[in-house]
Structure 1
Amino acid sequence: MTDVHDDLSDALPEVDPDLLELAGSVFADADATGTGLDTALWDNLEQTGLARLAVAEDAGGSGGTLLDLAAVLVEAGAYAARVPLAETDLACRAAAGAGLDVPAGPLTFALDRAGALAVAGDTVSGTLARVPWARSAAAVVVLTGGSVVVLDPAAATVVEGTNVAEEPRDTLTWDGARAAVAAAPEGAAGEFALRAALWRATLLAGAARGALARSVGYAGEREQFGRPIGRFQAIQQQLALAAAEVAAGGAAAESAARVVVRDGIAAPTAELAVASAKVRTGEAATAVARIAHQVHGAIGFTREHDLRLTTTRLWAWREEDGTDGQWAARIGELVLAAGPDGLWPLVTA
């Protein structure tokens, strides 16, 4: 029987190994232990063309593919990079789709499905909660109602907040602020919800890989009863379980990216693939974080230990851009809508 994942791999171009090597070296050299935006890393990403990798060249990007960015985001997650790579890509795509310009520098994106912002001509009022990286962004791109809005965070009242990984999640309030406003393309809200979930899944896949790598390294160094704990069968079994979760989550995220490239973000197959990837990487996040801390023992829970850089992101990111439960419910809706005759074609594409 032919494997579906193999079919997808054969049908689409592969990511350049040199790009992965570049991304790995850039993220490995960065300081992941601080809080807030890593400005040195962001400058390095801009100089190497990774900051806006999948943005078209005529829009100020590097013209890479969605698969390129997915692979780089996995590396960013593995090294707990303190930069808004996913948010900048979403912001650039939303603005470009509406014919709006964005400034240079790190950007952030918000999907205002609740209608928290009121748009009147070129002025905007309202409050957005938990906007990623807002305090450090050159602009906030918001998809609200039928409009795409580009706002200056400096014109807002900012209440700083964080997620459990201490990444910025700020509340912004604008009162009659001037903004660049344009009509959003039809279906943009659903599209960007999927894109955000896809990027979050790839970050989760990377963070799980990073947590496993730290755990394997620790098990090879920490000695108990005269030998490394990694030689004990119980530890080996737990690491094997974690490795299986990392592989499953990574395969789900990669497959979803490939389906999106092949079929387009608006295709039902793409929605099913992205929803499945977000659920599967969320499940992997729970299992891998638990096993990683069990292997490390009490030391792994301390703030001084670098394990928390990946595990806190696993806990935070599984709840962002849609929870496991929300995306699982969406999978159920897609299955019911396909019906008995459409389910198999939907799953196998």
Structure 2
Amino acid sequence: MSAELREMAESVFGDAWDNSTDAFDAELWKTVEQTGLARLTLPEEAGGSGGTVSDAAAVLTAAGQFAARVPLVETDLLAAWLLHAAGLEVPSGPLSATVAGNLSIQPAAGGAGADVSGTLRRVPWGRAVGAVAVLAGEQVLLIDTTGAGVEEGANLAEEPRDDLVLNELTVRHVADVPSVALVEFPLRAALGRALLLAGAARGAVAMAVRYATERVQFGRPIAKLQAIQQSLALAGAEVAAAAAATEAAAREVDKHGFAEASFAIAAAKARAGEAAGQVARITHQVHGAIGFTREHDLRLVTTRLWAWRDEDGSEAYWNDRVGARALEAGADGLWPLLTGTP
């Protein structure tokens, strides 16, 4: 199923490619809703497509490759999953999700829901989504963004990262945090971001290869120059490494669940982040000065590489966890840990 999904996703996201704006793509969102990609891993009984994490990996890699301007990770892997796990109904439309520890939550008048005050910091796609699933201490909140103030912000790729200001906002949909959420939420976010990184790296190298074959210098395409060939080969190896790590992590999740796959996810996010730096550097070197212009398509993927590598945990953060797990496993347990064997 993943191969067919990848082909469909590449067609959907490729057709929506647009370098003239960084705003939320409402038309693309309609398409991903109609094709069942928006809530791919949500169970069918909850309104989703019932897909696997490996299926989501195929879709998210394609979304990263074509710089899709829609909140797929936030809607499917995070918000829809969290709300469903907490026993809350999953609303339609684009969603976001965040963790907040500084909210004031008081019982609402009449005992239905809660009155919430505080600020949700750097909510992905905050201005574009209809609701945000919030993991707040021991509670899960579904917050309607129409009742929140919006202080617009953005990451390096100019994707919305907005502060949502809540002033005694009455929230009707409140539930206790499911026990799995505290462990699983950051792992889901990291894997989703790693898959987007792997896709963006693939997209950047594809652009560089195409440019190198078209750009003629000294009477021949620059792709014929040994230095360019070596650089593109190195970038291709980085793309392959990121793809191998992220796809392996997705398979581990399908087999054992997110908690058991935490080592593979940590390695995937760290490796995809490392690849992001190398690929962005090499592809800009191949393009030369033109690749740094705002009008050039390359910036759509490289700015995402630079932004996403630090979101949901940097390489240093996840490498620290890889190292801790390796030390915990000890000499006898290291090889089984690396290979996934008993």
Task: Look up the match of 1:336.
Answer: 327
User: Could you tell me the TM-score, scaled by structure 2's length?
Assistant: 0.94
Q: Give the drift of 1:339.
A: 3.0
Q: Give the drift of 1:102.
A: 2.7
Task: Determine if contact 1:156/1:173 at 8 Å carries over to the other structure.
Answer: yes
Q: Distance in 1 between matches of 2:34 and 2:43?
A: 16
Task: Determine if contact 2:200/2:305 at 8 Å carries over to the other structure.
Answer: yes
Q: What fraction of aligned residue pairs are identical, expressed as a percent? A: 59
Task: Determine if contact 1:102/1:139 at 8 Å carries over to the other structure.
Answer: no
Task: Look up the match of 2:315.
Answer: 324
User: Alignment partner for residue 35 of structure 2, among 37, 48, 53?
Assistant: 48
Structure 1 residues 107-147: Cα deviation after superposition (integer angstroms, max 9, x where no partner):
001023xx122222322111111110010111000111111
Structure 1 residues 81-119: Cα deviation after superposition (integer angstroms, max 9, x where no partner):
00000000110000000001132100001023xx12222
Q: Distance in 2 between matches of 1:181 and 1:343?
A: 42
Task: Determine if contact 1:87/1:108 at 8 Å carries over to the other structure.
Answer: yes
Task: Look up the match of 1:148.
Answer: 140
Q: Distance in 1 between matches of 2:248 and 2:106?
A: 41
Q: Distance in 1 between matches of 2:138 and 2:297?
A: 43
User: Alignment partner for residue 241 of structure 1, among 209, 215, 234?
Assistant: 234
Q: How many residues align?
A: 331
List structure 1 runs of 4+ shifted beyond 4 angstroms.
none
User: Alignment partner for residue 259 of structure 1, among 252, 260, 267?
Assistant: 252
Q: Give the drift of 1:166.
A: 0.7
For the aligned residue pairs, the C-alpha RMSD in angstroms reads: 1.1
Task: Look up the match of 1:74.
Answer: 61
Task: Look up the match of 2:126.
Answer: 134
The more displaced of 29-38 and 236-245 is 29-38
Task: Determine if contact 1:245/1:284 at 8 Å carries over to the other structure.
Answer: yes
Task: Determine if contact 2:3/2:58 at 8 Å carries over to the other structure.
Answer: no
Task: Look up the match of 2:71.
Answer: 84
Task: Look up the match of 1:110.
Answer: 98
Give the secondary-structure state (helix, strand or coil) at the position aligned to 2:127.
helix
Task: Look up the match of 1:177.
Answer: 169
Q: Give the drift of 1:304.
A: 0.4
Structure 1 residues 193-244: Cα deviation after superposition (integer angstroms, max 9, x where no partner):
0010000000000000000000000000000001110011010000000000
Task: Look up the match of 2:243.
Answer: 250
User: Could you tell me the TM-score, scaled by structure 1's length?
Assistant: 0.93
Q: Read off the aligned partner of 1:93 and give its amino acid letter.
A: W
The more displaced of 160-169 and 258-267 is 258-267
Q: Distance in 2 between matches of 1:120 and 1:32?
A: 44
Give the secondary-structure state (helix, strand or coil) at the position aligned to 2:69.
coil
Q: Distance in 1 between matches of 2:330 and 2:134?
A: 35
Task: Look up the match of 1:302.
Answer: 293
Q: Distance in 1 between matches of 2:145 and 2:304?
A: 25
Q: Read off the aligned partner of 2:232 and give its amino acid letter.
A: L
Please give the residue correspondences for 1:180-199 in structure 2 after superposition, counting only pairs within 5 Å: 180-199=173-192
User: Alignment partner for residue 274 of structure 1, among 241, 265, 289?
Assistant: 265
Give the secondary-structure state (helix, strand or coil) at the position aligned to 1:50.
coil
- Structure 2 gaps, min length 5: 108-113
Give the secondary-structure state (helix, strand or coil) at the position aligned to 1:151.
strand
Task: Determine if contact 2:2/2:58 at 8 Å carries over to the other structure.
Answer: no
- Structure 1 gaps, min length 5: 1-14
Task: Look up the match of 1:216.
Answer: 209
Q: Read off the aligned partner of 1:252 and give its amino acid letter.
A: A
Q: Give the drift of 1:328.
A: 1.0
Task: Determine if contact 1:32/1:79 at 8 Å carries over to the other structure.
Answer: no
The more displaced of 79-88 and 56-65 is 56-65
Task: Look up the match of 2:110.
Answer: none
